[in-house]
Every structure is written in structure tokens, then in C-alpha cells.
Chains A and B, each alone.
Chain A
């Protein structure tokens, strides 16, 4: 940091004191209750600094971020504390003061850029809009500035991209354009609300590097909100750990990463240390795919190309890849939802029919699936008892007390009590919902369970619990898992063998120890070192390494 920046950093920009935010909730059939969403949180941010807000969902991190723009989401109320921006209390200003603040002094970068852009307008018009509205500058100058920012953020062909519409550019590019939009009116503070969460890791790293470069270059201060500690560690000077709307720990990034004091922070830093010893392939595979081709629209759009892999009884095969790699389609092919155009699926020694309708009831029973988002994978009008009990009565014809006994047993296995039998899915937490989905799959006594991103919608600590449960159940009941995931950390912790997919093809396949150790092919190497590490300076090292690599390649 330069001396000039050092002196600038002495100035207080944002000062939130004792912030308290409440919401009214309406439990069905009961009178409304008031809950506290943010409880007495204070934070200070100096000019040119980046403060990371981290916590699981419901921690109140986005809510706090938005108050720095004098905004609360519908249904929430600020009931205490003050928010001072450049020394003035912005909660007390009228609509004019708020309008002058937003988009000019404080800007916001949302999680899903795809949803935040208006599809009907050219990108350049949206990027310069707030600068023009606030009269920061005139149009030609604003456009020049925007294009310069595009270049700085590493967007290819900045002039051309400016004239395009949102659907014509990729998700990673949109996220960078949104950052440009925030920077365009030269604000003092930018609120980044999970800006890279919806992106693939290989795209995320580019966006992170671009954002970091842009922040450092302009000297703007930022609140960086994320649930991913590894990402925040790359971006922030200080980190605030939040949980249930309260402050858990605050400190410099180095302190939080290297010497966390609170137990919760320690758990976040260490992550789930799940250890699973790899087993060697043994006997005849329970599931064997040979030369599978599949696609949509009469095979015109090919999604899978010549995919072959084997999965052995009682083992886990992780299928890893980014969005668009065809890993979920593979799951649909195996379950019979999408008949393959070519190739054979052998399951437990017999050929599986490609079409769901042609499979026997026993085939269906032995091959269960757990979906990514448990919320929509359960009928909201059925109780937990009905949901878990149905496979029992459907496949085994157990009814009455026997059914109730088995449901209780299954609830025990997923570490939930009998008390949940009469609950509806809406009355469960995210982790509990996913557990119920697991119990439903277990009820069928399957030989193979296809897990489609089962932990990616969950908070890290909850996700760890689910993974542990799955491993325990595998030990007890010797089921095989086909584990579809984009998360390399999950692959490391649970897989026996790994298939890495890229654009519909298996680029690397074998036992975990082989697949995840060098020498790598190009794609696997890029994928593996794009996974953020909870180390300070990791981002710089990787970017530098890649730059050196590309200069070497040129020579």
C-alpha cells in the first residue's frame, strides 16, 4: 500500500453502532411473533479497506450489508442503533438523502448478476445509468470510463461487450460487468453480496482476481459478504464472523485464519475433517457404464459423449465437474429419466433398460436417488412419516404398526427422533430436510444411491454432518454411492474413485489417490488449483503461477 493510501485509510467511512433489526414472522395457525434478525452488531470501516462478513445462512450478513445503503428487505425493521456514513446518520435522512446515497456513494453487487440485469437493455446503458442519473458525469465520459473498467476487469473485447445484451455474455462476465457498474460512479463503498457464489470455481478465481485488482486500484472501501471463508480470506483486510445475527469474532484476516479464538470460527477454519480411507475396486462392479451417449432434442444436443465408468459395491464414485459438464445428466441417464442414445448400463449383473417405464420394480427399488434441493424434493403436504413410510409400503407392502416401527427406526438412523413423524417439511431445517430425503432413499434398502449435489445447498457445518451420516450409513449397510458434485473438497473427503467430467466427457477417471495426485491433465490441474484455500495470499500465488505459465508457453 502506498503512503497516500495509508493516510487516507485513517478516515472513518462507515460506522454502524449497536444495530438491531427485527422481523415479524407468521407461523401457520399461530399469532405473529417478532424475531431478532440482527442483534447489537457494531462495525467500523475505514476508507480503502475491505471488511469481510462471513456466516451461514440466517446469520444476518446480507441484512447488515444492506443497511449501509439505508435499506432493509421487506418485512424487516430497524429497531435500534445507528448507521453513520461519512459522519452522517443515513437512517435519519429522508428519501432525497437516501437517493443521493445509493448508486453514487454506496453501490451494491448482487449474488446473481443474471437476475440483476434487465434483459431488455444494452449492458453499457445499464452500467452508466447511475452515473448519469446522479449527474456524476456526462454520457460520453461515463461510457469511456465503463469501457476502461471493463478492460481493467479483464473482459475480452471491452468495446464489443458494451454493446451487447445480458444474455449474450457468460455468468462470470456478467458478474464482472456488475462490478464495473458499481465502480463506474466512483463510490466510496461497495457492498459485495456473495458475488461469486453462483459461479464455477474456475470462473470464480478470475472474477475474484478482477474484483481484487479493481478494489485495490481505485481505493474504494468494500463490505464483502460470503459464506465461504476461503474466498473472504483472499479479499478482506478484516473479517467479522456472524452467527444468528450476533457477532462471534472480529479480527484481522491473518488472526482469524491462523489463530481463531472462538469455537465456531475454529470449526469454520478447520472445516469438516472427514476422513475416508480409499478402498480398492473389488470384485464385479455393481454399476457399469459403457460408452454412454445421451442428449436432448432427438440427440441434436449431445450432452454426454462416450462416458464409461464402474462403481463397486459399498464404494463411492464421485463424479466431479463444473456446471455444463454433464454430470447431472449422467444421473438422469442412470435413473432412467433420460434414455441414452447409445451405450449400455449394467446394474448388479443385469442390463438396465434405458427407459424408466421398462424397468422392473426391483430395479427401481435398488437404485435410489437423493436430490440437490431437499425443499422441493418433498411434497409439502405430506408429513415426514408419510414421506418415509411410502417406499416401505410401496416396495415391501409393510403397513400399520410395522410401517411405523420401520419409520421410527429410519428416523433413528438419520439421527432424528420419533418426534419428527408428524412434522411437515416446512417445519424442518435445511439439514433435517436433507436427512429425511436420505431416510426415504434408505427405506427402499437400495444397493446404489445417486446423490446429486446433496450438500451444495447447505451451510458448510451442516453439509459436513450430512456427509458423515452418509459415510456411516455406507459402512453399516454397504451401499454404493454415485456422488455428483462440483466441490472438490467433498470429493476428497468421501470418494473411493473419481471421474472428472468436462463438456460431457470423462477427462480423468480412476481411484481417488491417482486422480487427485499429479501429474495432471490441463483441465484437472486448472480445476484443482482454482479451489480456494483458507490461506492468505493464495489468490495472488495462483494468478502469478498462471501468468508465469502463460509467458513460458509463449516462449
Chain B
């Protein structure tokens, strides 16, 4: 039959049309953020192809060699190419952040909506558990987990995600409680809908905009805490490249007025700014708030 296909076709094209309209109306700051994020994504995907040398390849006999044609951004303390490591580091740092945030949003979001909808003892139990977890300072908690489980990438992800889950859980739960008080949820309940429908169709679409905004912010925070842990020596272990440890390893150069260590730091900073610009825009669009002109 052709009718349904035609309908879905028009639906799809209006969706694309709407998205492009939205993009066209984006302010310059958001476009700037989007461009930066796109560049980072390109680095993540094609970085290893572009990188002139390997991730852990010692290419120079001189540690901390200066910028040159051969080594674009010089070399580090072991004589590895900084530019190549910067590209490889993008993949590690960003990849781990993304996995961590997805994990914390998946678990925290679902638990938050579940607790709000179910209420009663399940809600109380989850609340007390998160309260207990939140009582421990996040960095200390991560340090404890990492020193027990050893600092591998999976335990790093779990340690940071566990801390974030509590916050996402709190946020989603309080947003969901507001949505649940509305009549359309009552209508769904009267219809006899189950937990999964109410969660995915009635509550989720209405809390999603704020969660997306929070996702952007959390992404930056995770990113910063990975870098912080790396700087403390408990993050991603050598020889794997990541921006946090690159800053630490070449930090001494600052004393010689060489700003090479600032480049991975700037990479972190620039992405944080770009993500926040995009998030601001998303919040602005979805909140329906308009500035008076």
C-alpha cells in the first residue's frame, strides 16, 4: 500500500524541514559551538588517520623538543609527538566522557522516572541510597573506588558515573513529579496504561528538554573530573594519551615560557565553552522563553 508510506514520507520531510528551520534561526554563538563540536567529532573519528605518528611512538631523541616542521607542536618528556597525542587523546578523553554521561543518564534517568511514578517504598529506598552516596564528596568517592578497583578505564567510568547517577536521579525525579501531577497522566492511568508507557510516552518527552540541557553540562563536568583524576595520576594510565595527563606531563614547560601544555588545556576549555553555548541555545529554544525586544 502506498498511503502509509506517503504519510511517513511527509512526516519525515517536515521533521527535516523543521530541524533546518531551527538551525537557520540559531544565534551566532550556538553556530560557533556547533562548528567547534563538529571539528572535535572529526578529530575523534579521523584523528588516527591524520596523526603523523603513533600514539605511544617515541619519535625524537630530544625530550621536549620545540615546535618544528617535523613535530608540529614539539614533543613531550619521552620524545613523543604532541600533535599526534593530542589527536589520539581526543578519542580517549571524549569517548570516556560520552560513555560515562550516557551511563549516568540512562541509569539515573530511568530510576528517577521509575521512583516518581511508582512512589511508595521503592521511591523511599532509592532516595535514601542516593542520599547516602551524595554525602561522600565526589572526588574522594572516585579516588576510593579507583584505589580499590585499580585505575582501569572501566572502573574510571563506573566511579564517575556512580557519582553522577545520584544527581541525574534527583533531577529526573523532581521533574517527573511535576509532570505526573498533570491531567494527561491521569488520563493515561485511567486508560489503564502500564509503567513503561507512562514513563516513555507521557513523562519522558516532557522532561527531555531539561535533561538534554543537563546532559551538555554534565558532559563537561565528567570531562573535567576525568582530567582532574588524570592530573592526580589516577585517571587514564600511560601510555594511553589523554588531555588531562598531557597537561600534567608537560606542566614543567610553563616555567620556561613555553605554552605547549596550555594546548591540551585549551582543547578541554574550548570544548566546554562550545558545549555550553549549544546547551544554552537548546534551553532557550525549548523553554519557550522569549526576550522582549
Q: Which residues does A use to contact B, with CB under 8 Å?
A: 24, 26, 28-32, 74-75, 335-337, 356, 359, 361, 364-365, 368-369, 371, 373, 376-382, 390-391, 394, 400-401, 404, 422, 440, 444
Which chain A residues lie closer than 8 Å to B12 at the CB level? Answer: none
Contact with A364, one of B3, B14, B18, B190 (Cβ below 8 angstroms): B190
Interface string of B106-134 (1 = CB under 8 A from A): 00000000000000000000000000000
Which residue of chain B is the closest to A362 with respect to CB atoms? B192
- Chosen A-B contacts, 13 in total, with CB atoms closer than 8 Å, are A30-B21, A31-B25, A337-B186, A337-B190, A364-B190, A379-B205, A379-B206, A380-B206, A381-B206, A382-B201, A391-B191, A394-B193, A401-B3
Which chain B residues lie closer than 8 Å to A24 at the CB level? Answer: 293
**How far, in whole Å, are A364 and B187 apart by their CA atoms in the complex?**
11
Asked if B4 and A401 sit within 8 Å, CB to CB, the answer is yes
Which chain B residues lie closer than 8 Å to A28 at the CB level? Answer: 288
Which chain A residues lie closer than 8 Å to B192 at the CB level? Answer: 359, 361, 364-365, 394
Contact with B189, one of A29, A356, A380, A401 (Cβ below 8 angstroms): A356
Which residue of chain A is the closest to B183 with respect to CB atoms? A377
Contact with A377, one of B14, B22, B184, B290 (Cβ below 8 angstroms): B184
Sorting the interface of chain B by its residue count into under 10, 10 to 19, 20 to 34 or 35 or more gives 20 to 34
Asked if A400 and B4 sit within 8 Å, CB to CB, the answer is yes
Give chain B nearest CB distance to A405 CB in angstroms: 10
Asked if B4 and A404 sit within 8 Å, CB to CB, the answer is yes
Which residue of chain A is the closest to B289 with respect to CB atoms? A26
**How far, in whole Å, are A550 and B11 apart by their CA atoms in the complex?**
68
Contacting residues of chain B (169-220) with chain A, CB-CB under 8 angstroms: 182-184, 186-187, 189-193, 201-202, 205-206
Which residue of chain A is the closest to B14 with respect to CB atoms? A422
- Name 20 extra pairs, CB < 8 A, besides A26-B290, A31-B25, A369-B190: A29-B18, A29-B22, A30-B21, A74-B292, A337-B190, A356-B189, A365-B192, A376-B182, A377-B183, A378-B184, A379-B184, A379-B201, A379-B206, A382-B201, A390-B191, A391-B191, A394-B191, A404-B4, A440-B187, A444-B191
Q: Does B7 contact A (CB under 8 A)?
A: yes
Which residue of chain B is the closest to A421 with respect to CB atoms? B7
Q: Does B257 contact A (CB under 8 A)?
A: no
Which chain B residues lie closer than 8 Å to A422 at the CB level? Answer: 11, 14
Asked if B292 and A75 sit within 8 Å, CB to CB, the answer is yes
**How far, in whole Å, are A376 and B178 apart by their CA atoms in the complex?**
12
Asked if B183 and A371 sit within 8 Å, CB to CB, the answer is yes
Q: Which of B7, B22, B183 has the most CB of A within 10 A?
A: B183
Which chain B residues lie closer than 8 Å to A337 at the CB level? Answer: 186, 189-190
Give chain A nearest CB distance to B80 CB in angstroms: 49
Give chain B nearest CB distance to A400 CB in angstroms: 6
Q: Which 10 residue pairs of A and B lie closest in terms of their CB atoms, listed nearest first?
A: A381-B205, A377-B183, A364-B192, A379-B184, A376-B183, A371-B183, A26-B290, A376-B182, A29-B21, A361-B192
Which residue of chain A is the closest to B184 with respect to CB atoms? A379
Q: Does B148 contact A (CB under 8 A)?
A: no
Q: Does B1 contact A (CB under 8 A)?
A: yes
Asked if B187 and A369 sit within 8 Å, CB to CB, the answer is yes
**How far, in whole Å, are A69 and B109 apart by their CA atoms in the complex?**
49
Which chain B residues lie closer than 8 Å to A75 at the CB level? Answer: 292
**How far, in whole Å, are A378 and B189 apart by their CA atoms in the complex?**
13
Q: Which of B1, B187, B193 has the most CB of A within 10 A?
A: B187
Asked if A376 and B292 sit within 8 Å, CB to CB, the answer is no
Which residue of chain A is the closest to B209 with respect to CB atoms? A381
Which chain A residues lie closer than 8 Å to B186 at the CB level? Answer: 337, 371, 377
Which chain A residues lie closer than 8 Å to B193 at the CB level? Answer: 394
**How far, in whole Å, are A394 and B290 apart by their CA atoms in the complex?**
38
Contact with A401, one of B1, B205, B288 (Cβ below 8 angstroms): B1
Main SS of chain B's interface residues?
helix
**How far, in whole Å, are A165 and B272 apart by their CA atoms in the complex?**
51
Asked if B21 and A379 sit within 8 Å, CB to CB, the answer is no
**How far, in whole Å, are A391 and B183 apart by their CA atoms in the complex?**
16
Q: Which of A28, A336, A356, A444 has the most CB of B within 10 A?
A: A28
Contact with B184, one of A356, A376, A401 (Cβ below 8 angstroms): A376
Asked if A379 and B191 sit within 8 Å, CB to CB, the answer is no
**How far, in whole Å, are A422 and B11 apart by their CA atoms in the complex?**
9
Interface string of B250-293 (1 = CB under 8 A from A): 00000000000000000000000000000000000000101011
**How far, in whole Å, are A390 and B184 apart by their CA atoms in the complex?**
13
Which chain A residues lie closer than 8 Å to B182 at the CB level? Answer: 376
**How far, in whole Å, are A75 and B1 apart by their CA atoms in the complex?**
50
Which chain A residues lie closer than 8 Å to B292 at the CB level? Answer: 74-75
Which chain A residues lie closer than 8 Å to B25 at the CB level? Answer: 29, 31
Which chain B residues lie closer than 8 Å to A369 at the CB level? Answer: 187, 190
Give chain B nearest CB distance to A356 CB in angstroms: 7
Which chain A residues lie closer than 8 Å to B3 at the CB level? Answer: 401, 404
Which residue of chain B is the closest to A361 with respect to CB atoms? B192
Which residue of chain B is the closest to A401 with respect to CB atoms? B4
Give chain A nearest CB distance to B200 CB in angstroms: 12
Give chain A nearest CB distance to B194 CB in angstroms: 10
Which chain B residues lie closer than 8 Å to A365 at the CB level? Answer: 192
**How far, in whole Å, are A75 and B292 apart by their CA atoms in the complex?**
7
**How far, in whole Å, are A369 and B187 apart by their CA atoms in the complex?**
8
Give chain B nearest CB distance to A442 CB in angstroms: 13
Asked if B191 and A377 sit within 8 Å, CB to CB, the answer is no
**How far, in whole Å, are A6 and B221 apart by their CA atoms in the complex?**
75
**How far, in whole Å, are A33 and B183 apart by their CA atoms in the complex?**
32
Which chain A residues lie closer than 8 Å to B184 at the CB level? Answer: 376-379
Which residue of chain A is the closest to B290 with respect to CB atoms? A26
**How far, in whole Å, are A150 and B1 apart by their CA atoms in the complex?**
74
**How far, in whole Å, are A336 and B7 apart by their CA atoms in the complex?**
38
Which chain A residues lie closer than 8 Å to B206 at the CB level? Answer: 379-381
Asked if B202 and A379 sit within 8 Å, CB to CB, the answer is yes
Asked if A373 and B183 sit within 8 Å, CB to CB, the answer is yes
Which chain B residues lie closer than 8 Å to A373 at the CB level? Answer: 183
**How far, in whole Å, are A356 and B190 apart by their CA atoms in the complex?**
7
**How far, in whole Å, are A390 and B292 apart by their CA atoms in the complex?**
39
Which residue of chain B is the closest to A426 with respect to CB atoms? B288
Give chain A nearest CB distance to B4 CB in angstroms: 6
Which residue of chain A is the closest to B185 with respect to CB atoms? A379
Contacting residues of chain B (1-53) with chain A, CB-CB under 8 angstroms: 1, 3-4, 7, 11, 14, 18, 21-22, 25
**How far, in whole Å, are A364 and B292 apart by their CA atoms in the complex?**
47
Which chain B residues lie closer than 8 Å to A31 at the CB level? Answer: 25
Which chain B residues lie closer than 8 Å to A391 at the CB level? Answer: 191
Which residue of chain A is the closest to B205 with respect to CB atoms? A381
Which residue of chain A is the closest to B22 with respect to CB atoms? A29
Which residue of chain B is the closest to A378 with respect to CB atoms? B184
**How far, in whole Å, are A29 and B22 apart by their CA atoms in the complex?**
6
Which chain B residues lie closer than 8 Å to A32 at the CB level? Answer: 290, 293
**How far, in whole Å, are A368 and B205 apart by their CA atoms in the complex?**
24
Q: Which of B182, B288, B293 has the most CB of A within 10 A?
A: B182
Give chain B nearest CB distance to A275 CB in angstroms: 31
Q: A24-B293, A400-B4, A404-B7 are in contact. Are A377 and B21 (CB under 8 A)?
A: no
Give chain B nearest CB distance to A224 CB in angstroms: 31
